Amino acid sequence: MKFLPITLAAVIAAAHASAGETPPVFAGLFQKDVPVRGQIGVVIPPPEIEKYVAKVEQAAKKNPEWFREYSKNAKPGAPLPFDEKLGLTKEEYDGYLKLWAKREFKPMQDAVLVLRETSDGSWTLAGTGNAATLATLRYQPKGDSFRSPNGELKRIEDINADASSILGAWNGREWRFEEESTLGKTKENIAFGQYADKKYGLVVYRAQEISSEGTRLLDKSLMIRFPLGKTAPAAAPAPTPAKAADKPAPAKGGDKKSAKKS
């Protein structure tokens, strides 16, 4: 999958007036042709949590089948419930949870987003910097689905994450594309939502490609946070993103920020 760079000037110029109404899935988050300034970033816990993560990873290697089964019923992106087989004492587990509660959003790059309608009635979210990836997806109101170069992303169960999840308490809507062939597996997800306190909106995107041999060919993730009710004036393109942490804590589904196996 190839992502083309896009400048802020192009984003603003692309916003054009049309007769279509903004689809309900974007209500409260974006208005048509109105630029919104946000930040691309990651949520990370304090570095002290790594000593606990290392013990859980070691325990998972010793008993991979149990760990895999135990992780299946856990909440996505949230710490696993306590069990002695996790390799932590109850005291250590409590210490882990205290550090987990101190996780923070770390901005890496500014971005401007503009929701616009295309000539065929579909909708795109144009963005600057790394957020330009989002412009490869088109929302189609009639089918309540997104179309990307991979194929159709279909609506799945809505998100209602509690405070223990990696992003904190938030709710939203999500779409997913999945395909498996003799060449490998491809997954693509996009979600829109807002925090429970309604101070910030969220766009979460991930694309993965894994070969039939298990080699990870692509793993691209984006988390964009933006204040609700605020627009973005024209400005210079966003700066180059900072380097992400080399070893975040493990989480379910490939996100290593909670004590889970990917």
Q: What is the pLDDT, as a whole number, of residue 72?
A: 85
Q: What is the pLDDT, as a whole number, of residue 111?
A: 96
Q: How many Cβ atoms from other residues are within 10 Å of residue 82's Cβ? A: 16
Burial environment of residue 227 by CB neighbours within 10 A (0 to 12, 13 to 18, 19 or more)? middle
Q: By C-alpha distance, which of 71, 7, 54, 6 is closest to 251?
A: 71
Q: Which two tokens stand for residue 77?
A: 């992106």
Task: Quote the CA–CA distance of 11 and 5 in Å, as a whole number.
Answer: 11
Task: Quote the CA–CA distance of 82 and 104 in Å, as a whole number.
Answer: 23
pTM: 0.75
Q: What is the pLDDT, as a whole number, of residue 73?
A: 81
Cα 219 to chain centroid, rounded:
12
Q: Counting every residue, how long is the chain?
A: 262
Q: What is the pLDDT, as a whole number, of residue 21?
A: 86
Q: Which two tokens stand for residue 196?
A: 């429970």
Q: What is the pLDDT, as a whole number, of residue 231?
A: 56
- Tens-binned pLDDT, residue by residue, of the chain (262 aa): 444 444 444 444 444 434 568 999 999 999 999 999 999 999 999 999 999 999 999 999 999 999 999 998 888 788 999 999 999 999 999 999 999 999 999 999 999 999 999 999 999 999 999 999 999 999 999 999 999 999 999 999 999 999 999 999 999 999 999 999 988 999 999 999 999 999 999 999 999 999 988 889 999 999 999 999 765 454 433 333 443 334 334 444 444 334 444 3
Q: What is the pLDDT, as a whole number, of residue 77?
A: 81
